[in-house]
Structure 1
Amino acid sequence: METAMDDAPRTPAAPGPLASFARFVLLGGGVGLLSSGAVALLAERLPWALANALITIASTLLCTELHARFTFGSGRHAGWRQHWQSAGSAAAAYVVTCAAMFVLHLVQSSPGMLTEQIVYLSASGLAGLARFLLLRLYVFAAGRRTKAPRPTRAPALKTRFPVAAKVPAVAGAM
């Protein structure tokens, strides 16, 4: 027996947390690697800070689309709300990595490149993990929530005498 639910369009099932995390690392990391090369190329023609800002904006937009479609399983493009929230989480991650580097340079006046890379990558990894959780549990969670079908009301009983069915019984009548 078919129901109306059988005709409803189905959205792809959301991947589990481990599959989402693997996709997040693969897609985000891939875009990150491409972005680092793009910043270097663009910085030959523009000031580095401007090149970095432009590539960061473009890569955040691209990653948000990829995460909406593939990482978190909505199968459709991200809306403005997701783009703004993703940009906010990317900005927060940027602040965390900058703060980590600032603290490192307060503690050690001239740390070696290896120490800088360890601190930067550690802060970036922690910020990335927090960003993944925020995106999965908040930004893209609405696409995974499905509403349970509402129970249908039983049709009202039709009587032969609809007016009589609405007249209240009076005690002691007749």
Structure 2
Amino acid sequence: MSHTIAAEKTARTAKGGSVAAFVRFTALGGGMTLLASAVIPVVALWMPWALANALITVASTAAATELHGRVTFRHGRPDWRRHLQSALTIAGGWLVTTVAVTALQDLHPNAGTLLTQAVYLTASALVGIARFLILKLSVFAPAAQPTTNLRVAYGTAA
């Protein structure tokens, strides 16, 4: 009976940890996305929108990875491998946001900044959900605890 109660408590704690991590991810990632969405149109005055999006995405991803490693997933400072994995997750996100805004510009050439921002932020929100799952389950997943086969450890036969 106590084993079942302990298992249920562990499951609730893990779920609560995931919810809390998602709230932190949303706050930090959302803040970074809002900042990026304000900077991209300004940078896009001097270059094509897709290039501005790429440059700002690289900078904001590096900053967000630091924040997510330290704050969201409480994993500590991310090493270069985790930065690279995080960058790979955002490459698809860059493609999604770029395709969404480019499609809007093709379909509605005079869409205006507010509609462009709404499309960008909507696409970013969808990307953010996928990114959270990938970062939580892969990039910043807790290291698996090594299992020890006691028979091997003590040199006994099976």
TM-score in terms of structure 1 length: 0.62
The answer to whether the Cα contact below 8 Å between 2:28 and 2:67 also exists between their aligned partners in 1 is yes
SS at 1:126 equivalent: helix
Structure 2 CA distance for aligned equivalents of residues 55 and 112 of structure 1: 20
Q: Structure 1: which 5+ residue stretches go unaligned?
A: 1-12, 158-174
- Percent of residue pairs identical: 45
Corresponding position of 1:80 = 80
Q: Is 2:30 aligned against 1:29?
A: yes
The answer to whether the Cα contact below 8 Å between 2:96 and 2:123 also exists between their aligned partners in 1 is yes
Q: Structure 2: which 5+ residue stretches go unaligned?
A: 1-12
Corresponding position of 1:64 = 65
Corresponding position of 1:8 = none
The answer to whether the Cα contact below 8 Å between 2:37 and 2:121 also exists between their aligned partners in 1 is no
Corresponding position of 2:105 = 105
What is the RMSD of the two structures over their aligned residues, measured on CA atoms? 3.4
Corresponding position of 1:152 = 150
Deviation of residue 120 (structure 1)? 2.1
SS at 2:137 equivalent: helix
The answer to whether the Cα contact below 8 Å between 1:97 and 1:120 also exists between their aligned partners in 2 is yes
The answer to whether the Cα contact below 8 Å between 1:28 and 1:63 also exists between their aligned partners in 2 is yes
The answer to whether the Cα contact below 8 Å between 1:39 and 1:48 also exists between their aligned partners in 2 is no
The answer to whether the Cα contact below 8 Å between 2:57 and 2:94 also exists between their aligned partners in 1 is no
Structure 2 CA distance for aligned equivalents of residues 52 and 116 of structure 1: 13
Letter in 2 for 1:95: L
TM-score in terms of structure 2 length: 0.67
Deviation of residue 38 (structure 1)? 6.1
Which structure has the highest helix share of the two? 2
